[in-house]
Amino acid sequence: MKMSDVLGCAGGAISLLLASMLIPFVGAFFSLLTPLPFLYYTIRLGLIEGIKVAAMVVAAIGLIAYLVGYSQITLLALEFSLVGIGLAELFRRRLSLGNTIFLATLFMLFIGLGMLVMMGLSRDMGPIEMVLSYLGSQLHAAIQTYEDAGPGHVNAVELNAYAKAFMATLSQIYPSLMIVGTGFALWLNVVIARPLFKIGKLEYPEFISMDRWQAPDHLVWGLIISGFALFLPSQSIQFLAINALIVILAIYLFHGLSIIVFFLNKYRVPSWIRLGIYFLIIVQQLLLAVLTFAGLFDQWIDFRKIHRRADSQTT
């Protein structure tokens, strides 16, 4: 381990954390990439040396955070360092893309839950209460800012009513939102790691091409069971069903996105047109629904003819 490795990892992690704090709107995107420096240097130096580098970097970030009065950043740095190291180990095991993201998501959720439990103990709150309390405080702060602008009493009352309805809905689906958000963050790190590894001349796992990825065929049974469970009278079962349904639909959405990427690659669509298509997908909810259904029915329709090619090769 060289000091240049420690400085490189620290510089990357600190830059990403600072960007997440200082850049409005898109700053949160940079925080999602914080595991990348730890992943890169763990692969480059090996597990033991990677842990040593991560420990030194987290300690340095903790000291800086304490001096500037943002001690909570230390927990984020610790969590992201563990996720980066965990991803590096999954990369070494040569698992499939789906299994890598699935296991990494479980690992990150486990770490996040553990940290919420530790933080909750100091405040005599459970992890669920911690999450809802934080979201409620952020929503209340936004409402207070709106009221201070003085748009009128009626609008403020309506906004508070909408806020209560929003929190009531959020309290029912927050587990699935956490799972989907965590999975997306890890998928993003896996994707961006490829060009990063290429620059550093590191070996990247031979994952299946992103435009050929597909959800497991048996996942459709989870969708069917979750859908029927929504009509059962038990609130606990309905809570589990709606969250399972959201997670499964999110997986099929990524399946649909891989279909779009396949045809964009096949017809060599220019980058500027691709950006326009991706922008429309983000802002137009109808397109998200179309992609989700495309991913769901792909196992029967086989839009990319993947199953037909596989069958022809085996015969």
Among the residue ranges 75-79, 165-169, 230-234, the one predicted with the least confidence is: 165-169
DSSP-derived secondary structure letter, 208: P
The pLDDT tens digits for 89-135 are 999 998 988 899 999 999 999 988 888 777 777 777 766 777 777 77
Angstrom distance (rounded) from CA 72 to CA 64: 11
Closest to 193 in 3D by CA, of 73, 122, 97: 97
Q: Where are the domains of the chain?
A: 208-306
The predicted model gives 236-244 an average pLDDT of 93
Structure tokens given for 187: 């998928």
Nearest to 207 by CA among 61, 100, 314, 69: 100
276-313 residue pLDDT tens = 998 898 888 889 999 999 999 998 988 988 765 554 44
pTM: 0.85
Nearest to 74 by CA among 84, 82, 65: 65
